[in-house]
Structure 1
């Protein structure tokens, strides 16, 4: 027997996730009416469909500017999509603004993704970790494993895609973008960004 779902709950889930009404209804039925579980189901579906689109070419989009309250921090970000139709949508503008706000709130972030971090930074951090006292007496294989884990954890703080989303810390920026790829049906990519702080030199 199919569980009957209240239309108000379906609308609430649609407003929360941006997914289609039928997808929301099916997710709620699969979750037996559990709202939080339905969100997880939609996110899993979205991530799966987004992965198939992430290699598609992006030639449209926008450059968005954000000035934080007090006018002492500013961000410029280029966010790309596949068509001008998506680039002109309010939800795409909202995504770009949220990404800019994330950068404004994340002074450590310098790169878009973890793979962009230069090898010399990785090597320098690894050398620091290897010299820590709690690793000196450990076997080399154990030492290397612990060191790699620590270095990755430290350096992911520099990567925008690895940051918890400030509006929903349960997901990362990478997961947020994948959700929007699923929503828009197009690939979305952060091309570049710059963060400006009053009185500081910006590279």
Structure 2
């Protein structure tokens, strides 16, 4: 590792966003080859993705998707930690795929906490009325309605939804795969979906 200069470490830090010691180790393992060191750090990120939850995500991209000849449009903001990752095909493909998924499924929020309380209350009342209509005993109404509400969150909140391209995984699963590949914290920050003829 004696041939690794401070300038090389600095350049790798700027390109990868990794810490000094990680950059030194990566350059040492890869005989000073910058591109190989970047790959080394990204592969190492697979093991450390779960530890990145507290990191700031101040870089990222806004992607859009237009469907049905301009009848449905989606814009989504996806954030990451470094400009390096924000420019990768993997990250941008993920953001575009999320925009396409939102166009197809029309989620009401990213996570259950995003759903307005008025919507939750309305859904709960509808479910209670449905359960009573089915002739279920009063003491079971609340429990069954709660189960239906949980299913509503699963179907209607982006992170819980089954990914339209790969229904065996949720959007949360897909996000975690990309976090593992990039070695960075990635967040779906917000989205807007427009459809002609709806408000």
- What corresponds to 2:67 in structure 1? 68
2:111 is matched with which residue: 105, 110, 113?
A: 113
Q: Shift of residue 88 of structure 1?
A: 0.2
Q: Secondary structure at the match of 1:131?
A: helix
TM-score (ref. length: structure 2): 0.70
Which one has a larger percent helix, Structure 1 or Structure 2? 2
Of 141, 144, 151, which aligns to 1:143?
141
What residue is the counterpart of 1:82 in the other structure? 81
Q: Which moved more, 1:149-158 or 1:166-175?
A: 149-158
Q: Secondary structure at the match of 1:58?
A: coil
Q: Give secondary structure in 1 for the equivalent of 2:52.
A: coil
Alpha-carbon distance between aligned partners in 1 of 2:48 and 2:191, rounded to the nearest angstrom = 26
Residue 161 of structure 1 aligns to a residue whose secondary structure is: helix
TM-score (ref. length: structure 1):
0.69
Q: Which residue of 2 aligns with 1:162?
A: 160
Q: How does 1:97-108 map to 2 (within 5 A)?
A: 97-107=96-106
Name the residue aligned to 2:120: 122
When residues 139 and 110 of structure 1 are mapped into structure 2, their CA distance, relative to the original with a 3 A threshold, is: closer
Runs of 4+ aligned structure 1 residues displaced above 4 Å come to: 134-137
Work out the CA distance in 2 between the residues paired with 1:177 and 1:160: 11
Aligned-CA RMSD value:
2.4
Deviations along 1:105-145, one digit per CA (max 9) or x if unpaired, are 113x12111121122222221122222336654252x4322
- Structure 2: give runs of 5+ residues left out of the alignment: 1-39
Aligned-pair distance for 1:98? 0.4
Query: Partners in 1 of 2:95 and 2:82 — Cα distance?
Result: 15
| Structure 1 alignment gaps of length 5 or more | 1-19, 24-45
In structure 2, the residue matched to 1:193 is 191
What secondary structure is seen at the aligned counterpart in 2 of 1:52? Answer: helix
Larger radius of gyration: 2
